[in-house]
Amino acid sequence: MRTLIVTEFISLDGVIGEPQDWSFPYWGDDIAEFKSAELFGSDTMLLGRVTYEGFAAAWPGRAGADAFADYINSMEKVVVSNTLNEATWQNSHLLKGDLTAGINELKARDGKDIVVHGGKTLVKSLLERDLVDRWHLLVYPVMLGTGLKLFDEGTTAKLKLVEVRPFASGVVAMIYERGEG
């Protein structure tokens, strides 16, 4: 069974929105190495419509720039959307209908991890259905005060901490798996 991993850049106060506006000053070779291992350890991206549209606008233009961009462009992209009629980015297709059945079918296939980048609505739906196996939360040493938060008030889950990895810039990777109960 493949592992479904949610990966997020998150501020100390829980904001995930617009990470390009606040995460870059903390980027370093150690974070790049972590994100590369995460990417190359997966062969499928699961994306909501908004994240898909942003990635599809950005990554194809980076083809040939480096192995990271080429891998993203070549890997399978599964887009969860009830509003898109087609997914035109290379190796992309839509997942419509029963989310639980679709994700369980993806997990049952042979392959590497399935990684979810961003996408609060998708992450919320996955969490509600207990489909997330692992969380990679890169916590940034910044409080933004406002912005899109990963979890709504009232969200509950039991997680098991499996690794904490500090980076030179003060960012901390907190890796969790589904907990008991």
Q: What is the pLDDT of residues 9-57, one digit of tens each?
A: 999 999 999 998 999 999 999 999 999 999 999 999 999 999 999 999 9
- The per-residue pLDDT for 181 is 53
Q: Which superfamily is assigned to 4-178 in CATH? A: Dihydrofolate Reductase, subunit A (3.40.430.10)
Classify burial at 132, counting beta carbons within 10 Å of its beta carbon; exposed 0-12, middle 13-18, buried 19 or more: buried
Domain ranges of the chain: 4-178
Q: Which helix (H) or strand (E) holds 88?
A: none
Amino acid at 30: D
Q: Comparing C-alpha atoms, which of 82, 72, 80 is closest to residue 131?
A: 80
pLDDT tens for each residue of 110-156 = 999 999 997 889 999 999 999 999 999 999 999 999 999 998 888 88
Round to whole Å and give the CA distance between 131 and 178.
9
DSSP state of 21: G
